[in-house]
A and B are shown apart, each in its own frame.
Chain A
């Protein structure tokens, strides 16, 4: 969907993006991860031409972006930024309607889409449409920012630290919500963040950058279990244990889990097999009963299985060496 080839951006003497080549596949979430100044935000802004390329090419949906007017290009992509960047002199309704107005939609169409989008994001239209941004909480502002990006149903959404300005609690809950928004699931998303946990929670693939260069581009599991170099290892080491549990899905543990014992499993919590191991452990632990077990949904090939937290941990121990190989 998005193709970057040998993309380079220079600011005077500073090489901000150095020969970056990557593809973002349709419907996936690619996270650009790195410390500040690593070039991740610049890379993102090159895609919607908020910055202009020094060298290289970028294609979006098969068209070279240099061959389109920047405004036209941008109107076809959602753009969400830190702190939402809502217009303080516009109501929520007017804020959301900015892009449709630029696209000269009819008033009826704008109204209809506004209500649809707000419902998707679980914002009550009656309550919020006529409010001004300063009357909203940070989390609400961020939702409106997202609604504004989604209203014209663009195939591509670019996000620059979208949850960066929120407090940690709101941040985690809105992140979780974000993952579950149906309207977003099939969009091609590029997300910039410096937050490792956020990157691994939201990303399908991660592009870890440093000094304008890609250090590693791969799936979340590849980064955790097969870091490409010293830098990647060091970057992840503080959160390594949590990340391992995060990136593993329950079905990967199947071979190492005991067979189901129906007697134990009667009051077990049922999980889908694509659930992350970390999520499962957190939920089990939260119940407070050490012997609480879970049941893995059966699929066509395997019967249901059940496990306690201890079982899961043991299974992870057994699985990981094979992933590192």
Chain B
């Protein structure tokens, strides 16, 4: 019940955004559909005359259909960049098969006697096609358009990953934030849209023959109209590309809005794409993590958070209290790393893995050796400690360091479960005792795990020590989980721009950016 109430509240709060996303979604669906009809219908009709084309046409479109949609979008990014273009193109490719196939089948299933009569009366091939075959193929053709449209509504949700907008923005934002009302705000309208379009086109398909021709005309006139919503929202000017989580999180973009009064022209895209998007100039400013190796790869400038909008995200290991009580020798090992890694060190380590393609294990060992901490493994026979990590480079490296230290200094064995999806998965695994240790960030603990009320969080965030003490106390109290002393670096959210552009526009801090946009 609570969820439903939350859902309504969310809809009321985000009504404008929802309308915009729905229109974008309809637009994406129908632009691609219109293109697919424009290309697919002639192809489908042509292969009724040149049968040699049937195999290749069905073969190629059939193969396209089997490419997973997210992979297809991935293939298209290098060619078409990000934004609506690759999304529309991908949807167009998916729509081709049902339209070509149904145009072909529709014409082929016209009664042979009727075709013979038409030719026998002296119709040319073109007259036969336009006056007899096409009108009689309309119900089947409509069925194909219907299939394609419903398919498109579903696949178009993925467009949000590549900054093409649509209802996927809420869905992916909601998943990233574990925010059910937000997921529903995207999923329910998308489902309604699919059902509605399916219903309308089904009505069209089952019309009586004489009404089909006007109906077809109406549909083809309506298509450009339905496609045109995309033109409405203004997407020009200084553009921000945000990952869904950042866009929705209280300490992310909404926090920036509150603190700086920053109002960016935003598009949502997959976290993996933001760096590339800013690098290639598709967008001008992105969100990211302050220690990400890609900052170096793509020559980006991290804008200074001069008004402390982003809460501190100091990294530290979390350990279950019972494990530490059983193996007190672990404390010394775990604290070896405390304070040894600063922001630029972490960025460099990440860069080695991300850009130089070094293995996290090598990078970790090299760092430990440099710090004089590395010892060869003892090949211990003690209890096995389960390490966990989230699915990004920095966590792999940290987990690897810890694993090497435990092997070198204790008799314990180590097994690592790396690549656990996100915060929630990692923390739930730790709380359930499926893993014993994983690296976490103070801000995440505060916001995502403890769900600290915003005013409290805001007050705490201004000073790092307070956050750490707050989360450490609460975790101990509520979950019997301990925070070890921070490792030293602060992997917080950051806004970034291309170095070159930042220099040109003289933007160093987020306040500068706000200044620049005000003009």
Contacts and interface: CB of A to CB of B under 8 A. Distances in A.
A267 to B, nearest CB: 50
B61 to A, nearest CB: 28
A222 to B, nearest CB: 31
B120 A74 contact: yes
A132 B116 CA distance: 19
A83 B113 contact: yes
A81 B111 CA distance: 13
A50 interface: yes
A99 interface: yes
B226 interface: no
Given A88-B136, A89-B135, A71 B117 contact: no
B114 A88 contact: yes
A103 to B, nearest CB: 8
Contacts of B210: 89, 91, 132
A91 B124 CA distance: 21
B119 A74 contact: yes
Given A71-B124, A75-B121, A102-B122, A85 B136 contact: no
Contacts of B118: 85, 87, 98
Interface in A75-132: 75, 79, 81-89, 91, 98-99, 102, 132
Nearest to B212: A89
A72 B122 CA distance: 6
A148 interface: yes
A86 B117 contact: yes
A89 B117 contact: no
Contacts of B124: 71
B219 interface: no
A91 B209 CA distance: 11
B216 to A, nearest CB: 12
Given A102-B127, A132-B209, A132-B210, A85 B114 contact: yes
A87 B132 contact: yes
Given A81-B113, A81-B116, A102-B127, A89 B136 contact: yes
Interface in B14-34: none
A220 to B, nearest CB: 27
A50 B116 contact: yes
Interface in B343-386: none
Contacts of A145: 117
Given A87-B132, A88-B136, A82 B113 contact: yes
B120 A81 contact: yes
Contacts of B448: none
B121 A81 contact: no
Interface residues of A, number: 26
Nearest to A103: B122
Contacts of B120: 48, 50, 74, 79, 81, 85, 158
A225 to B, nearest CB: 36
Nearest to B135: A89
Contacts of B54: none
A163 B117 CA distance: 15
Interface in A13-37: none
B77 interface: no
B136 A75 contact: no
B420 interface: no
Contacts of A87: 114, 117-118, 132, 136
Given A88-B136, A102-B127, A81 B122 contact: no
Contacts, number: 65
B128 to A, nearest CB: 10
B122 A99 contact: yes
Chain B's interface size range is 20 to 34
Q: Chain B interface mostly helix, strand, loop or mixed?
A: helix
Contacts of A158: 120
Contacts of A85: 111, 113-114, 116-118, 120
Contacts of A74: 119-122
Interface in A38-55: 48, 50
A81 B123 contact: no
A72 B124 CA distance: 9
A145 B117 CA distance: 9
A75 B116 contact: no
A165 to B, nearest CB: 9
Nearest to A48: B120
Interface string B109-143: 00101101111111110010000100110000000
Contacts of B135: 89
A86 B110 CA distance: 12
B136 to A, nearest CB: 6
Contact of A71 (B113, B123, B132, B212): B123
A102 B118 CA distance: 11
A73 to B, nearest CB: 8
Given A88-B136, A89-B135, A89-B209, A79 B117 contact: yes
A82 B116 CA distance: 11
A71 B209 contact: no
Interface string B192-226: 00000000000000000110110000000000000
B117 to A, nearest CB: 3
A132 B209 CA distance: 10
B113 A75 contact: no
Contact of A50 (B113, B119, B209, B213): B119
Contacts of A148: 121
B117 A81 contact: yes
- Most chain A CB within 10 A, of B111, B114, B132, B213, is at B114
B346 to A, nearest CB: 71
Nearest to B210: A89
A88 B212 CA distance: 12
A88 B213 CA distance: 13
A102 B136 contact: no
Nearest to B117: A85
Nearest to A91: B210
Contacts of B119: 50, 74
B131 to A, nearest CB: 8
Interface in B64-120: 111, 113-114, 116-120
A-B CB proximity, top 8 nearest: A85-B117, A75-B122, A79-B120, A74-B122, A85-B113, A89-B209, A71-B122, A89-B135
Given A48-B120, A98-B123, 8 more contacts: A74-B119, A75-B121, A79-B121, A85-B114, A88-B114, A91-B210, A98-B121, A145-B117
6 contacts: A79-B120, A82-B113, A85-B120, A89-B136, A98-B118, A98-B121
